[in-house]
């Protein structure tokens, strides 16, 4: 392709020319800090979530550390219109996460407010979620939860404002008796997933697990 010759895909870290379907070169891939969490074992996210709501299992793919490659990857996905990174991250998850005989019933991604969705042009979690759903053969629902208020990005808020998000989400349809995995990009305080989790838990006899691209340690 002429465009591939004129504008070759480059590693987002070292700028080396790489395959069009790859995010980083092999050398830089070694600099990504994967968590190596076990979905069925307790980890830092599990412990934080248990203080906020009844959680079943949790998983994070990478560490979201200051000034590291993992943070750059998430920022490229969210703020530089590189939606396809979501598919790559999901493929990395499938290489590391095995639900074994305990597959959840439904995958649900954190929604954007319609105004934010229009500004960004895409929800950075949708392709990620859909790729996981296809691989694991688990249904997904992008419409189950709606965001009620428009607000600036979590990364731009101070801690006080991140902790205050009452009534931020609501459930759009009846659902009961399901084990639902909530999917988000970065886990920080746990406030976002907690707000959604309580909506799901209060809707019926449901269970909630959490899966995120990255955890901000």
Q: Do 139 and 177 belong together in one domain?
A: yes
Q: Do 77 and 122 belong together in one domain?
A: yes
pLDDT of residue 6: 59
Q: Do 39 and 60 belong together in one domain?
A: yes
Q: Do 93 and 22 belong together in one domain?
A: no
Q: Do 112 and 139 belong together in one domain?
A: yes
Q: How many domains does the chain have?
A: 2
Distance CA 40, CA 100 (A): 10
- CATH number, residue 54: 3.40.50
In three-state form (DSSP H/G/I as H, E/B as E, the rest C), the secondary structure along the chain is CHHHHHCCCECCCCCCECCCCCCCCHHHHCCCCECCCCCCCCCHHHHHHHCCCCCCCEEEEEECCCCCHHHHHHHHHHHCCCCCHHHHHHHHHHCCCCCCCCCCCEEEECCCCHHHHHHHCCCCCHHHHHHHHHHHCCCECCCCEEECCCCCCHHHCCHHHHHCCCCCEEECCCCCCCEEEEEEEEECCCHHHHHHHHHHHHHCCCEEEEEEEEECC
User: Per-residue pLDDT for the chain (217 aa), expressed as one digit of tens each?
Assistant: 554 555 788 999 999 999 988 899 999 999 999 999 999 999 999 999 999 999 999 999 999 987 789 999 999 999 988 999 999 999 999 999 999 999 999 999 999 999 999 999 999 999 999 999 999 999 999 999 999 988 765 544 555 544 455 689 999 999 999 999 999 999 999 999 999 999 999 999 999 999 999 999 6
Q: Do 4 and 41 belong together in one domain?
A: no
Q: Do 89 and 12 belong together in one domain?
A: no
Q: Do 37 and 120 belong together in one domain?
A: yes
Q: Which residues of 154-174 are buried (b: 16+ CB within 10 A; e: fewer)?
A: bbeeeeeebeebeebbebeee
Domain span holding position 20: 1-30
Q: Do 22 and 42 belong together in one domain?
A: no
Q: Do 26 and 114 belong together in one domain?
A: no
pLDDT of residue 3: 45
Q: Do 26 and 43 belong together in one domain?
A: no
Give the predicted TM-score (pTM) of the model.
Answer: 0.89
Q: Do 3 and 39 belong together in one domain?
A: no
């Amino acid at each position: 392709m002429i465009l591939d010759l004129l504008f070759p895909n480059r590693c987002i870290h070292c700028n080396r020319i790489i395959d069009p379907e790859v995010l980083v070169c092999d050398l830089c891939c070694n600099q990504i800090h994967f968590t190596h969490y076990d979905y069925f074992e307790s980890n830092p996210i599990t412990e934080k979530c248990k203080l906020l709501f009844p959680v079943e299992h949790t998983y994070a793919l990478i560490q979201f550390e200051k000034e590291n490659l993992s943070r750059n990857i998430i920022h490229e996905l969210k703020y530089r219109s590189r939606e396809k990174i979501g598919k790559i991250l999901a493929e990395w998850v499938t290489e590391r996460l095995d639900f074994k005989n305990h597959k959840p019933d439904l995958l649900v991604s954190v929604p954007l407010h319609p105004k934010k969705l229009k500004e960004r042009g895409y929800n950075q979690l949708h392709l990620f979620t859909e790729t996981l759903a296809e691989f694991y053969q688990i249904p997904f629902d992008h419409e189950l939860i709606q965001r009620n208020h428009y607000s600036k990005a979590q990364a731009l808020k101070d801690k006080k404002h991140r902790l205050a998000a009452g009534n931020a989400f609501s459930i759009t349809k009846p659902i009961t008796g399901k084990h639902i995995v909530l999917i988000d990009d970065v886990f920080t305080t746990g406030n976002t997933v907690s707000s959604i989790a309580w909506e799901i838990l209060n809707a019926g006899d449901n269970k909630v697990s959490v899966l995120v691209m990255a955890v901000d340690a």
